[in-house]
Structure 1
C-alpha cells in the first residue's frame, strides 16, 4: 500500500474540506458576523487575568519553568478538593487528576490510550464533531444513537430531545468499549437529567463500559437546571473519566487548560500516555487558574462567584438571541446549557437554497453558505454533528453561538431584522 492510500492520511486530507473551516474562511472573506464558533469575544474577569500577570511578573521564577508533568501541584490540589465535594468522595491530586492542553487534548489522550482499533464507541447524536474524527483516526468504530425531538405543545427546548432506551441498549455489542456522554451537550445544549443518566449508567455497569463524561460546559447552565455528574452514580466512579475545561469555565479559551478526573487505574494510563506524547503543560496558566479556582471555592454559590455571574449573563444573551431568531422566521430550540442555539430553518430554507436537488451537499450546509454570503451571517449546519446515516434528521437546523458581547448580538438583530423584511 502506498503512502497516498493510507486511510489516516486520506482522512486528514478530507478534513481540509470540513464545513466548519470552509464557512469560517468564507465569513472572513465576506466580512460576515461570525456566530459559528463557540468562543467569547469579550475579556475574562480582571481577577483571572491579574492572576496570570502575577504569575508572569512575580518573584517566583519557578513558574517560568517545567512543572509536574501530570499537572501543576497547586492546580491539581484545588481540583481534587473541588471534585471531592462534587462526588462526595476523597480524591488524591496525584492519582485522580491529569492536567491537559485543553479538554481537547484530554479527549485525544483518552482515544489514543484507552480506546483500541476495532473497539466500538457509542455516540449520542448530535455529537461534538471531534469525537468521530478522533475515534476513526484511532481505528475505532463510532456507533450512533440519535436524540429525537418531541413536541409537548409549548416552547421547544433542548430537553425535548431524548434518546430511545431500546435503541441505546441495542447499540451495545460484544465489541462496545465505551460511551461518550456530553452534558451540557454541544451543539444541542441539552442537560441530561437524572433519569436519563441513570439509564446510561445502568447500561455502563451492565456491560462494563467506559464512560467518557465531557462536562466542559458544566458552568453554563440556565433556567434552574442542575448539572448532575454521572461519576457520582453507584458503580460509576471506577469506570468514568470526567473532562473539564478552564477555557469554558473562566472564558479563557486561548489558555488551553483542561483536565481529566477519574479513578487511579484509568488516570494512570492517561498519565503515561501524556508523559510520552506531551510531557507537560504550560506552568503560568496553570498557576493562574489555581488562584482563580481557590477564589471560587471561597465564594461559590454567592453573587461574587464568576460561575454564578457568567451563567446569569449568558442566560440573558440566550433569551435575546432566541427572540431575534424567532422574529426573523427561525424556530429557536432553547438550550438549557452550553453556548449554542439550535434553530429550525424550515420556514426560510426553500427561499435560501431553492428547490434544486442536484447538489450532494446537505441542505443546511447550502443554507449556511447562502447566509454567510447573502446575509453576512455565519452559522454552522447541524449536519456536521451527525453521522451520514442520520444526516436527514439534521438538515433543517443550524447552530448559532450566543457567547458574544451585547454589541455583537445587536448586530445580529440588525441582520435578522433586515432578513425578516426582505
Structure 2
C-alpha cells in the first residue's frame, strides 16, 4: 500500500510547485539537483539553441517521479509516492520466464508478432471475452505494449489531431496531460469534488464529477475523454450511474473513451469494478488499457495491452509499429502461460485476481487507522494501492 500525502484537489498543483523548486527559470537544474550540461560555453550555447527540445515535447520535461525521487534523496526522507509493490509476484511467473529462456525453442529468442505474441493475445482475448461478454478477436482487437504507459501513448497519439480537445479528470496520473499536449491536443480539466466535506470519515466514493460541469466541457472539438477506474490516486471506482453519465455524453458528442483500468483486479469488497465498454453502445467507442505489472505485481516486466474494436485499434497499431515495433518475446510467452493458469482459476478463491485484493484490504484498513490516529484525514479507497491523506491539520 502506498500513500501520497496531501489534499487530493491540490495534487497536480503540488507537483508543479515541486517542479519550480528543482528548476530555475532557464529550465536548468537548480543547485539542489545535478546539472547535466554546462551552458556557460558560447559554443555549447550555439549548439543547444539549435538542438533544444522540440516545443511539442516541452509538456513532458518535468516528471513527478524524477523530481520526487530526487527530493527523497536530497532530504533523506522515505518515498512512499511511487506505485509498485515490495514483494514478489507469484513464483510461477519467474518459473515460466526461466523455462522460456532455457527451452530449446530458438523462436523465443527472436522477434515475435509486432502487435502481440500470438499465445498472449489469445489468452487475453479468452479472458476479456468472458469478462465483457463479447467475443474478442485476438489478432485485430488486442495490442500488446511496453507497459500500459505505451498503450496510453498509442491511444492518445493515434487519435489526437492538432487542436483536438481531451477531457482529463483531476487528480490524474501524471502522463495524461503531457501525452495530450505532445500530440498537439488541448487538455480540458474537470475535478472530482468531495460531496461530503464535513463527514467524519472520508471515502473515495464521496468524490464525484459535477454533471453540469462535465457536460459543459463537451463540444465539437472534443476528441476523447480519459477515465481511470479504479482511480489513481484517489482509489475511487466509478459506479454504474457515473459511467452511464460519461457514456451518454460520449455518445451524444461522438467522443472516444480511453478507459485506464490497470487496477481492475485491485478492488475491495463490496465494491465491484464495471468496465465502461460493457455499457450499451460503448464497445464501439472505447479503448480499454490493462497492465500485467499491476495485475500480477511485476511492474518491472513492463507489459501492457489495449483492447477495443478493430477500427479503433488500427490507429494504435500504426503508432506502435513506428515507435516500438514489438515487445520482448520471452516476457510475452511467460506472461501468456501465467494468464492461461489464471483463466483456469477464474472465479475461484485460488485465483490471484481474487487473492491479491483479499491480501491488500486488511493492510489498507491498518494504514487508514494509523493515519487517523496520527492526526491525518485519510480517504478510504475502494480500489488500487494508493491512499490520499489530508495533512492540513498540521499546516
The structural deviation recorded for 1:2 is 6.0
1:21 matched to 2:66: yes
The one of 277, 292, 296 aligned to 2:342 = 296
Instruction: Report what 2:233 is aligned to.
Output: 187
Segments of structure 1 that go 5 or more residues without pairing to the other structure are 350-422
> Matches of residues 324-335 of structure 1 in structure 2 within 5 Å?
324-335=370-381
Structure 2 residue 216 is the aligned partner of structure 1 residue 161: no
Matched, 1:96 2:141: yes
Measure the CA separation in 2 of the matches of 1:70 and 1:6: 29
**Whole-angstrom CA distance in 1 between matches of 2:59 and 2:145:** 25
Deviation, structure 1 residue 155:
2.2
Aligned residues: 346
The 1:31/1:137 distance shift into structure 2, 3 A limit, reads same
| Partner residue in 2 for 1:221 | 267
Indicate conservation of the 8 Å contact 1:4/1:10, yes or no.
Answer: no
Secondary structure of 1:179 counterpart: strand
In structure 2, the residue matched to 1:344 is: 390
From the superposition, tell whether residues 6 and 49 of structure 1 become closer, same or farther in structure 2 (CA, over 3 Å): closer
Instruction: Give the equivalent residue in structure 2 for 1:7.
Output: 55
Name 2:24's counterpart in structure 1: none
CA distance in 1, matches of 2:195, 2:99: 51
- With 152-161 and 75-84 compared, the bigger mean Cα shift is at 152-161
2:91 matched residue in structure 1: 46
Q: CA deviation at 1:82?
A: 1.1
> What TM-score, normalized to structure 1?
0.79
126, 129, 154: which one aligns with 2:171 = 126
Do residues 73 (structure 1) and 118 (structure 2) align?
yes
Q: Which position in structure 2 is the counterpart of 1:262?
A: 308
Q: String of CA shifts for 1:303-345, please: whole Å, max 9, x gaps.
A: 2111111111111111111111111111100110111001011
Encode CA deviations 1:127-155: one digit per residue, 9 max, x unaligned: 11100011111110011111101227452
Offset of residue 19 of structure 1: 4.3
Which stretch shows the higher mean deviation, 272-281 or 120-129?
272-281
> 2:362 is matched with which residue: 291, 296, 316?
316
| Separation in 1, partners of 2:58, 2:244 | 40
Aligned equivalents of 1:132 and 1:77: distance in 2?
32
Residues in 2 aligned to 1:308 and 1:139: alpha-carbon distance in whole angstroms: 40
153 and 273 in structure 1: CA distance in 2 versus 1, 3 angstrom threshold: closer
**Secondary structure at 2:271 match in 1:** coil
What is the CA-CA distance between 1:126 and the residue it aligns to?
Answer: 0.9
1:102-251 residue pairs with structure 2 within 5 A? Answer: 102-151=147-196, 153=199, 155-251=201-297
2:82 pairs with one of 31, 37, 50: 37
CA distance in 2, matches of 1:192, 1:65: 41
Deviates more, 1:170-179 or 1:27-36: 27-36
Q: Conserved in 2, the CA contact under 8 Å of 1:178 and 1:210?
A: yes
Q: Which runs of 5+ in 2 are unaligned?
A: 1-48
Task: Give, in whole Å, the separation in 1 of the partners of 2:128 and 2:53.
Answer: 46
Where 1:129 maps in the other structure, the secondary structure is coil
Distance across 2 between alignment mates of 1:286 and 1:5: 34
Q: Which stretch shows the higher mean deviation, 31-40 or 240-249?
A: 31-40
8 Å contact kept, 2:57–2:182: no
Answer yes or no: is the 8 Å Cα contact 1:149–1:161 preserved in 2: yes
Deviation track 1:77-106 (CA, whole Å, cap 9, x = no partner) reads: 011111111111111100110000001001
| Alignment deviations for residues 48-105 of structure 1 (CA, whole Å, 9 cap, x no partner) | 1111111111222211111100100110001111111111111110011000000100
Shift of the alpha carbon at 1:30?
A: 4.2
Range with greater deviation from structure 2 (44-53 or 143-152)? 143-152
RMSD: 1.6
Deviation above 6 Å: which 4+ runs of structure 1? none
Q: SS of the counterpart of 1:337? A: coil
1:353-392 matches, within 5 Å, as: none
TM-score for both structures, normalised by structure 2 = 0.85
Give the secondary-structure state (helix, strand or coil) at the position aligned to 2:95: helix
SS in 1 for 2:237: coil
